[in-house]
Amino acid sequence: MSQAAVISHAAYAEHAEALGFWRKYVFSTDHKTIGKQYLGISLFMAIAGGFTAYAIRWQLAWPAAGIPGLGAITPHAYNSLVTMHGSIMVFWVAMPMLLGAFGNFCIPLMLGADDMAFPRLNMLSVWIFFTSALVLLASFVAPGGAAASGWTAYTPLSDTWTSAVWGQTMWLFAVALEFASFLIGGINFLTTAFTRRCAGMTLWRMPLLVWDEIAASVLFLLSVGPLVAGAVMLLMDRLLGTGFYDPSKGGDPLLWEHLFWFFGHPEVYVVALPGFGIMLEIMPVFARKPIFGYRTIIYSTIVAVGLSLIVWAHHMFVSGMDPRLATPFSVTTILISVPFAIIVFAMIATLWGGSLIFDTPMLFVIGGLASFIVGGVTGIFLGSAASDIYLHGTYFVVAHFHYTLFPVTFFGGYAGIYYWYPKMFGRMMDERLGKLHFWLTFVFFQATFIPLFLAGIGGTPRRVFMPSAYPSFASLQPLQVMATVATIGLIASQIPLVVNFFSSMFRGALAGRNPWRANTLEWTVDSPPPHGNFPDPPVARRWPYDYSVPGAASDWLPQVAETNPPAGIKVQRAS
Amino acid sequence: MLMSWLPQNVSTFGTDIDSTLRLIIFIVGPWFILAEGLILYFAIRYRKRPGKPAVHVRGETFRQAAWVLIPGVIVMLLDFSIDNASGRAWDEAKIESPAPALNVQVTAERFAWIFTYPGHTGAFDGKGTYWSMGKLYVPVNQVVRLNMRSMDVIHSFAVPNLRMRQDIVPGRTITAWFEATRPGNYGIQCTELCGFDHYKMQGTLVVLSADDFAKWRQKHWPSAPAIAINSDAEGANK
């Protein structure tokens, strides 16, 4: 790093000392504080999302009983709950947790930078995001209730036909703000990764989490534009009387479906890639072994990003689009199993020959991987256009996407929390509570969604107020009850996390710089790192996964280590 | 095992959709068991033990990466075999549309299904049409074509026993077909969220034997156009 950078860095650190409470903890430009703010908001929104899950599940199991804590609900309110559950969990939990929190916290630290490329823009992104969450939550008490046309907001239901007149408009504003926030964040991630890497940090020495965060950001930037345009057109239809989606005015509802899913499917990967990044980052540390096939994983990720842009119509096989389009989209969809299979195989191969330490972060990584595989293989059934005719719109779809998104968001996110908590707060989380949290979450997660696969194979449609109202599916009602009991268990399983998270801030053992004996750069500085991160600009002398190198003094060689093999800024190649 | 959860199939193309499902289970099942089994086995076999350091394998050489790339290639080849079976079953159900023995107009309206049978001229708005609320009567072993339209929002016409599902988009007339192979009553559901009473939007498919259908027609739809029904079976639909 240049002399000027060092000087400005010193000035920055000095400046940080003078910051008052508000600038330090609330309106902060420090990427670490912003990461924690994203984490806090996402965990708070997860409580809201969890509550909607509980209310939905209770209604499905015991429709006549009335929901404890909420009372009896109308079918319209049920649709609102379903809509808000999906929206909250994808846009206000998964994205802020996996991109906002871990992207912001880890990228500059892992790259040896003092902050993001645009710290002020970063602060803007988190405050826009905060505003979007407020708008969304406020819509619960809007006249007519919250949006009720599904998180996919298919027109014309979300247009002239919804009774949630205010709620639907607020939903659109909230989503638009959320997109703006993550657009700004994504630009920041990319710029940081390409301009703020420390000396020696070549692209091929970047940790996989950074690769996955920037791959997700690129994908988000590529896919979100059409949907923002689509959302503006929907707002105009709702507020100004235009007819982009209204057939009586020459519009077409299928236009919305295309625009939505052109974004909506890549969005799954925007969330999944950072979740994988966290798992890929943590696994070698607790296997004491290099990640298997670093570059194979990166190339597979790039292929997955490319393919994910040409699969969207698999959500629309039976939508009324030209049926001749189905098979091409079916082929690309099923083909995306290849890069993901390779990444999964690489993770399994990383375990082979390791010296596995089952601390809480590792348990969540392995549990997340094992669960994600279920989501992966069930995706083939839906990617095949023929079998999708039967399974589309059933509980099979619900179980499938929960098996993909829950492992990356929660298993991946929790692994990240347990792993980086010492760096964020300077203290260790409690291992016993952590393990309890893992096992309860793992078991109740499976118990929630396995019955829903069966309900879906039986044909039960999703998004219904009362599955028992269908004579043909009445015999499948016990599956709904099982899933509900397990959901309540799953939510209760999060109590150890809450206790652990807050009590460890004060009572946890002091972490020191590198409690996990990990190689990446964030572990070379104090926990928590000071404003400006690195007292002296670091130099990366090797890739991040030199674990158990034969002949080395310890079973880990940090990226800054000069010994064996000697320093050099050439790409490290395998022997 | 999983297949036993499916409701009984009563359509011609349903057989091929079910065999696609079976093929996918057959292909992904072993991979699933292998992957989960390896994770479990490695987790036990390679847990940390004193004096047993991890091996330093990067998987960066082609020789090593082949351990994940070759299975990747096999997955791709298997994908193509799924594409092949799936493509054929899809074409049968959604693209090749055999000549119908009976045309019915399906009108989807929040939150009901209305089935209209054509009048003398074969048109749905002329004299002698017959309409039925929520019940679709069809003869067994005859090709039925549905001309579907929606009066308001997007609906989806789904009959799990027929392995049939088709969204109905306002502003378009969407055609679909099926041939039921077994008399009986089967549930019809709307499977695209269409508003507050979406869950009440149900109907019944009544598949009648040739004789029963003739009796039903005599009683309810005497104006049936001659061209619409070919009661001496087999002829029109093959």
Which residues in chain A have their CB less than 8 angstroms from residue B197's CB? Answer: 75
Q: Mean of the per-residue pLDDT values for chain B?
A: 92
Question: B204 versus A468: which is more confidently predicted?
Answer: B204
Same domain, B114 and B210: yes
CA atoms of A500 and A136, how far apart (whole Å): 29
- Residue B224's pLDDT band (boundaries 50, 70, 90)? confident
Contact across the interface for B42 and A381, Cβ inside 8 Å: no
Query: For A384-418, how does the pLDDT look when each residue is reduced to its tens digit (9 = 90+)?
Result: 999 999 999 999 999 999 999 999 999 999 999 99
Q: Mean of the per-residue pLDDT values for chain A?
A: 93
Q: Which residue of B has its CA nearest to A363?
A: B43
Q: Are A545 and A559 in contact (CB under 8 A)?
A: no
> Has residue B234 been placed in a domain?
no
What average pLDDT does this structure show over A60-87?
94
Per-residue pLDDT, A281: 97
Q: Which residue of B has its CA nearest to A367?
A: B39
Q: A218 is written with which tokens?
A: 């690129």
Indicate if the pLDDT at residue A568 is higher than 50: no
Q: A241 is written with which tokens?
A: 């009387």
Q: Which residue of B has its CA nearest to A463?
A: B193
Q: Is A309 on the interface with B (CB under 8 A)?
A: no
- Residue A564's pLDDT band (boundaries 50, 70, 90)? low
Query: For A129-139, how does the pLDDT look when each residue is reduced to its tens digit (9 = 90+)?
Result: 999 999 999 99
Q: Is A366 on the interface with B (CB under 8 A)?
A: yes
Indicate if the pLDDT at residue A436 is higher than 90: yes
For chain A, what percent of residues have pLDDT higher than 90? 89
> Has residue A563 been placed in a domain?
no
Contact across the interface for B38 and A377, Cβ inside 8 Å: no
> Has residue A458 been placed in a domain?
yes
Q: A128 is written with which tokens?
A: 């826009």
- Residue A12's pLDDT band (boundaries 50, 70, 90)? low
Q: Is A153 on the interface with B (CB under 8 A)?
A: no
Per-residue pLDDT, A180: 95
Domain holding A323, by residue range, is 3-524
CA neighbor of A531 nearest in space, from A143, A165, A3, A10:
A10
Which residues in chain A have their CB less than 8 angstroms from residue B160's CB? Answer: 390, 459, 472
Same domain, B131 and B212: yes
Which residues in chain A have their CB less than 8 angstroms from residue B17's CB? Answer: 386-387, 389-390
Contact across the interface for B85 and A386, Cβ inside 8 Å: yes
Q: A157 is written with which tokens?
A: 């239901």
Same domain, B29 and B65: yes
Query: For A199-215, how does the pLDDT look when each residue is reduced to its tens digit (9 = 90+)?
Result: 999 999 999 999 999 99
Q: Is B77 on the interface with A (CB under 8 A)?
A: no
- Residue A3's pLDDT band (boundaries 50, 70, 90)? very low
CA atoms of B235 and B141, how far apart (whole Å): 11
Inter-chain contacts counted by CB atoms under 8 A, chains A and B: 298
Q: A238 is written with which tokens?
A: 């709702």
Q: Please say which residue of B55, B71, B95 terminates a domain.
A: B95
Contact across the interface for A548 and B55, Cβ inside 8 Å: yes
Interface subset of B 172-201, CB within 8 angstroms of A: 172, 174, 186-187, 189-200
What average pLDDT does this structure show over B87-94?
96
Per-residue pLDDT, A571: 39
Indicate if the pLDDT at residue A483 is higher than 60: yes
Per-residue pLDDT, A15: 54
Phi, psi of A132 (to 5 degrees): -60, -40
Least reliable range by pLDDT among A61-75, A264-278, A360-374, B220-234: B220-234
Indicate if the pLDDT at residue B122 is higher than 90: no
What average pLDDT does this structure show over A357-386?
97
Q: Are A410 and A441 in contact (CB under 8 A)?
A: yes
Q: Please say which residue of B95, B127, B143 terminates a domain.
A: B95
DSSP-derived pairing of the beta strands B184-190 and B202-208: antiparallel
Q: Are A294 and B60 in contact (CB under 8 A)?
A: yes
Q: Look-up: residue for tokens 């209730």?
A: A145
Q: A239 is written with which tokens?
A: 């507020």
Same domain, B44 and B138: no
Same domain, B165 and B69: no
Per-residue pLDDT, A372: 97
Per-residue pLDDT, A265: 95
**Any idea of the CA torsion for A353, A356, A361, A365, to the nearest 10 degrees?**
40
Contact across the interface for B64 and A293, Cβ inside 8 Å: yes
Contact across the interface for B59 and A393, Cβ inside 8 Å: no
Torsional class of B210: left (φ above 0), alpha (ψ -120 to 50), beta (otherwise):
alpha
Q: Kindly report the nearest CA distance between residue A523 and chain B, in angstroms.
A: 21
Q: Which helix (H) or strand (E) holds A168?
A: helix A165-195
Q: Kindly report the nearest CA distance between residue A29 and chain B, in angstroms.
A: 38
Q: What is the CATH number of the domain that holds B49?
A: 1.10.287
Residue B198 CA to its chain's centroid (Å): 20
Domain holding B36, by residue range, is 8-95
> Has residue A482 been placed in a domain?
yes
Least reliable range by pLDDT among A411-415, A442-446, B215-219: B215-219
- Residue B229's pLDDT band (boundaries 50, 70, 90)? low
> Has residue A531 been placed in a domain?
no
Query: For B32-45, how does the pLDDT look when each residue is reduced to its tens digit (9 = 90+)?
Result: 999 999 999 999 99
Which residues in chain A have their CB less than 8 angstroms from residue B87's CB? Answer: 327, 330, 385-386
The interface predicted TM-score (ipTM) is 0.94
Cis upstream peptide for A284 (omega within 30°): no
Q: Kindly report the nearest CA distance between residue A474 and chain B, in angstroms.
A: 12
Q: What is the CATH number of the domain that holds B203?
A: 2.60.40.420
> Has residue B228 been placed in a domain?
no
Q: Is B1 on the interface with A (CB under 8 A)?
A: no
> Has residue B230 been placed in a domain?
no
In one letter, which amino acid is A504?
Answer: S
Q: Is B43 on the interface with A (CB under 8 A)?
A: yes
Number of other CB atoms surrounding residue A401 within 10 Å: 18
Indicate if the pLDDT at residue A573 is higher than 50: no
Query: For B147-165, how does the pLDDT look when each residue is reduced to its tens digit (9 = 90+)?
Result: 999 999 999 999 999 999 9
CA atoms of A48 and A291, how far apart (whole Å): 36
> Has residue A529 been placed in a domain?
no
CA atoms of B61 and A293, how far apart (whole Å): 8
Per-residue pLDDT, A500: 98
Indicate if the pLDDT at residue A493 is higher than 90: yes
Q: Is A146 on the interface with B (CB under 8 A)?
A: no
Indicate if the pLDDT at residue A574 is higher than 50: no
For chain B, what percent of residues have pLDDT higher than 70? 95
Same domain, B113 and B172: yes
Count structural domains, chain A: 1
Which residues in chain A have their CB less than 8 angstroms from residue B189's CB? Answer: 461, 470
CA atoms of A302 and A296, how far apart (whole Å): 10
Same domain, B129 and B53: no
Q: Please say which residue of B54, B75, B95 terminates a domain.
A: B95
Helices (H) and strands (E) in chain B, counts: 3, 10
Same domain, B43 and B153: no
Indicate if the pLDDT at residue A18 is higher than 90: no
> Has residue B235 been placed in a domain?
no
CA neighbor of B21 nearest in space, from A413, A347, A542, A396:
A396
> Has residue A530 been placed in a domain?
no
CA neighbor of B54 nearest in space, from A545, A483, A240:
A545
Q: Is B162 on the interface with A (CB under 8 A)?
A: no
> Has residue B35 been placed in a domain?
yes
Same domain, B52 and B158: no
> Has residue A566 been placed in a domain?
no
Count structural domains, chain B: 2
Same domain, B64 and B123: no
Same domain, B51 and B81: yes
For chain A, what percent of residues have pLDDT higher than 70? 95
> Has residue A542 been placed in a domain?
no
Same domain, B54 and B80: yes
Nearest to A154 among B35, B93, B154 (CB): B154
Q: Kindly report the nearest CA distance between residue B148 and chain A, in angstroms.
A: 10
Q: Is A475 on the interface with B (CB under 8 A)?
A: no
Which residues in chain B have their CB less than 8 angstroms from residue A345's CB? Answer: 35, 67-68, 71-72
Nearest to B196 among A76, A394, A461 (CB): A76
Q: Is A571 on the interface with B (CB under 8 A)?
A: no
Indicate if the pLDDT at residue B234 is higher than 60: no
Per-residue pLDDT, A16: 52
Nearest to B192 among A344, A393, A575 (CB): A393
Q: What is the CATH number of the domain that holds A225?
A: 1.20.210.10
CA atoms of A242 and A257, how far apart (whole Å): 18
Query: For A233-290, how does the pLDDT look when each residue is reduced to its tens digit (9 = 90+)?
Result: 999 999 999 999 999 999 999 999 999 999 999 999 999 999 999 999 999 999 999 9
Q: Is B226 on the interface with A (CB under 8 A)?
A: no
Q: Which residue of A has its CA nearest to B110?
A: A161
Per-residue pLDDT, A153: 95
